Amino acid sequence: MKLYQILLFCLLSSGFLFAQDSQTTNETQTTSPEVSAEEQTLSAVKKLIGFIRYKKNDKAIALIHVGKFSEKLIGDHKISAAERKEFEEAISEYIVNKAFPIALKYFDKIDITYDKPAVNGKQARIGSSILYKGSDQIKFAWILSESEGAWYISDFETEGKLATEINRTKNIEPSIKKNGIKGTISLIQKAAKN
């Protein structure tokens, strides 16, 4: 099974790609001077997977930077601050209701192998792989961004392509052209509830 098909688990369903940016004060990570950036990034990814496995969606969602993710999905489209907030909220709802349950199916009882994080300033990439169904090795990467002293998952790479790029060009841009931003938000909200 191709990585693209399997690992869009938390990013693509019903034709849309979503992530969550929830920076609650009690869930925000803090940077510690004694812990390296590499350790912090890997910790963020492992926590995300653990929270998904134990259905702690509020904690899992707090580790995803929806603001950066949404910005990449919207691309060059000019939208108001209110529309941006509504878009991010729709994505948040979608990820909790649709993406995390799909992710749980794939990561529940599968061990993930992580490469050494590659940190470049406020960006990081962690190559990973899983052995799916005992024989298919699937490779992918977590893309993280540092914001206010903490690391958040801000994208996902599969087969050398960013999930936001794939979904922006195949799903979000065509929807915005056809339905406008309000219509696209409405479709995301509807998909999150079904």
List, in sequence order, every residue forming a beta bridge with 136; answer none if it has no partner: 132
Does some domain include residue 7? no
Mean pLDDT value of segment 53-61? 95
Task: Please tell me the predicted confidence (pLDDT) of residue 117.
Answer: 98
Does some domain include residue 62? yes
Mean pLDDT value of segment 62-72? 94
Rounded Cα distance between 187 and 182, Å, is 9
Task: Please tell me the predicted confidence (pLDDT) of residue 33.
Answer: 58
pLDDT tens digit sequence for 100-133? 998 888 777 788 899 999 999 999 999 999 887 7
Task: Please tell me the predicted confidence (pLDDT) of residue 27.
Answer: 43
pLDDT tens digit sequence for 17-53? 333 333 333 444 554 458 999 999 999 999 999 999 9
Task: Please tell me the predicted confidence (pLDDT) of residue 12.
Answer: 36
Does some domain include residue 171? yes
Task: Please tell me the predicted confidence (pLDDT) of residue 137.
Answer: 84
Does some domain include residue 52? yes
Look up the pTM and report it: 0.80
Which residues have C-beta within 8 Å of that of residue 137, sequence separation ≥ 6? 129, 130, 131
* Confidence grade of residue 162 (pLDDT, cut at 50, 70, 90): very high
Rounded Cα distance between 137 and 104, Å, is 18
pLDDT tens digit sequence for 125-153? 999 998 877 778 889 999 999 999 999 99
Task: Please tell me the predicted confidence (pLDDT) of residue 26.
Answer: 40
Q: Tell whether the model's pLDDT for residue 90 goes beyond 60.
A: yes
CB 92, CB 100: distance < 8 Å:
no
Q: State phi, psi for 77 to the nearest 5 degrees.
A: -65, 130
Domain count, the chain: 1
Does some domain include residue 24? no
Task: Please tell me the predicted confidence (pLDDT) of residue 110.
Answer: 81
Task: Please tell me the predicted confidence (pLDDT) of residue 102.
Answer: 87
Which residue stretches of the chain are H helix?
A: 3-7, 37-53, 57-61, 66-74, 81-94, 100-107, 163-167, 173-193
Mean pLDDT value of segment 148-174? 94
Does some domain include residue 86? yes
Which residues have C-beta within 8 Å of that of residue 169, sequence separation ≥ 6? none
What range does the domain containing 164 cover?
A: 37-193
Mean pLDDT value of segment 173-183? 97
Mean pLDDT value of segment 150-171? 94
Task: Please tell me the predicted confidence (pLDDT) of residue 15.
Answer: 36
Does some domain include residue 142? yes
Does some domain include residue 26? no
Alpha-carbon separation of residue 7 from 26, 31, 50 (angstroms): 29, 29, 16
CATH of the domain at 60: 3.10.450.710
CA angle 67, 108, 43 (to 5 degrees): 50
